[in-house]
């Protein structure tokens, strides 16, 4: 095995270890999670998954549906569903990204996926689910929230900016192969 192969293998192991550590610390944080009362916003349950997958497929690559199902079990406490009467109007799912620093543990979260059903777009559902879930993130000591949005998704970018997210940088291949996205962050003081 050559030096390049050893390096590639080391990077792969290190990346896997980092993810395992992040997920373990995230699971520990979720054990102590505190909820806020949210009108028309509920945690995901099995009966909602087909509708959520349909909504997700309308706007995103269907390759991520497997991860969405995995997260629906693993991250139920931070997988929010907004309803209009008895219909799923949209969803927002986060994952936790704790970081160790000289000041201790910084609790960050990342919006893994957010989508509103086409029938309910432009009615304030996206803003409401984000604002309500952000309140709960603050209550639980989250220091900032990250998200990634396609540079061409102007309505979403405008919404995120109204809420207080700021563009951190432009990156490729996060939102899809050969697609450009903005990394945006909402920091809490």
- Tell me the pTM: 0.82
Question: Total structural domains in the chain?
Answer: 1
Tens of pLDDT, residues 34-66: 878 888 898 888 899 999 999 988 877 666 778
Tens of pLDDT, residues 101-160: 777 778 899 999 999 999 999 999 999 999 999 999 999 999 999 999 999 999 999 999
Domain hosting residue 12, numbered range: 3-142
pLDDT for 110? 92
d(CA 138, CA 21): 23
Backbone phi and psi for residue 21, each to the nearest 5 degrees, phi listed first: -60, -45
Q: Is residue 169 part of a domain?
A: no
CATH code at position 84: 3.40.630.30
Asked if residues 80 and 93 have their Cβ atoms less than 8 Å apart, the reply is yes
Q: Is residue 63 part of a domain?
A: yes
SS3 breakdown of the chain: % helix, strand, coil, rounded to 5?
A: 45, 30, 25
d(CA 36, CA 23): 23
Q: Is residue 182 part of a domain?
A: no
């Amino acid at each position: 095995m050559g030096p390049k192969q050893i390096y590639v293998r080391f990077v792969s192991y290190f990346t896997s270890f980092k993810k395992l550590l992040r997920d373990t610390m995230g699971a520990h944080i979720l054990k102590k999670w505190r909820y806020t009362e949210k009108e028309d916003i509920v945690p995901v349950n099995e009966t909602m998954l087909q509708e959520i997958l349909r909504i997700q497929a309308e706007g995103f690559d269907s390759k991520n549906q497997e991860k969405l199902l995995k997260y629906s079990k693993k991250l139920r406490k931070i997988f929010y569903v907004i309803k209009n009467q008895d219909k799923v109007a949209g969803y927002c799912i986060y994952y936790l990204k704790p970081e160790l620093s000289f000041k201790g543990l910084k609790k960050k979260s990342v919006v893994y996926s957010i989508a509103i059903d086409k029938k309910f777009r432009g009615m304030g559902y996206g803003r409401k689910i984000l604002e309500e879930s952000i309140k709960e993130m603050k209550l639980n000591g989250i220091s900032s929230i990250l998200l990634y949005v396609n540079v061409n998704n102007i309505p979403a970018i405008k919404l995120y900016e109204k809420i207080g997210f700021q563009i951190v940088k432009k990156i490729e291949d996060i939102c899809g192969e050969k697609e450009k996205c903005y990394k945006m962050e909402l920091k809490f003081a």
